[in-house]
Amino acid sequence: MRMIFIGPPGAGKGTQAARLVERYNIPHISTGDMFRAAVKAGTALGKKAQEYMSAGQLVPDEVTIGLVRERLTQSDCSDGFMLDGFPRTRPQAEALEIALEASHIQLDAVLVLEVADELIVSRIVGRRSDPETGEIYHLQFQPPPADIVSRLVHRKDDTEEACRSRLAAYHAQTAPIIPFYDDRNLVRRVDGVGELDNITDRITSALS
């Protein structure tokens, strides 16, 4: 299974990604992990990426595409892979397509996990974390024990303003790549609302 996994922030993509890479026995490739691995290995592209990151700059698309192509030709990707967090924009999707064709790699699916913005906001804004145990609670969906409420922390990036900002960026930058892959008959849309096992079943059914 050679796939790209797309979904808005807060849709539960991380949980499902962990399940899918185990089910299909494929590597989970995120740009962050890929950058760190290339820098650690000291590859030419890794060194180039390090220069930009050390200067506090975004790594240019051409370097990122080169790193993705380099990563996908490694032996653990021979039976498939999951790209998560890339491509993020239409130009990246177009450049990735060229790179994959050059490497004779064909995508099987672009999985899109769909959750309405307002539900995502309610999920995120209601989250609280316990600094002593690391446990995550939700004021509505998974209420904490009454005796620990006073010590729970509401993270700065879990505010409504921060959440809506991330969603706006997703809709402006990443969502436009979906029609690009729709034109190639690769998109598999899955409802991301419900019990975790049910969502996983929907995904595997969509990918089969």
**In whole angstroms, what is the distance from residue 123 CA to residue 12 CA?**
10
Does residue 156 carry a catalytic annotation?
Answer: no
Q: Which two tokens stand for residue 4?
A: 């790209």
Q: Which fold has domain 2-26+79-114+175-207?
A: Rossmann fold (3.40.50)
Q: Residue 49: pLDDT above 90?
A: no
Does residue 155 carry a catalytic annotation?
Answer: yes
pLDDT 10s digits, 151-185:
999 888 888 999 999 999 999 999 999 999 999 99
Catalytic pick from 2, 48, 69, 127? 127
Does residue 164 carry a catalytic annotation?
Answer: no
pLDDT 10s digits, 94-112:
999 998 999 899 999 999 9
Q: Residue 36: pLDDT above 90?
A: no
Does residue 36 carry a catalytic annotation?
Answer: no
| Element holding 33 (H helix, E strand) | helix 31-41
The full set of domain ranges for the chain reads 2-26+79-114+175-207
Catalytic pick from 23, 47, 151, 155? 155
The helix, strand and coil proportions of the chain, stated in percent and rounded to the nearest 5, come to 55, 15, 30
CB atoms within 10 A of CB 60: 12
Does residue 88 carry a catalytic annotation?
Answer: yes
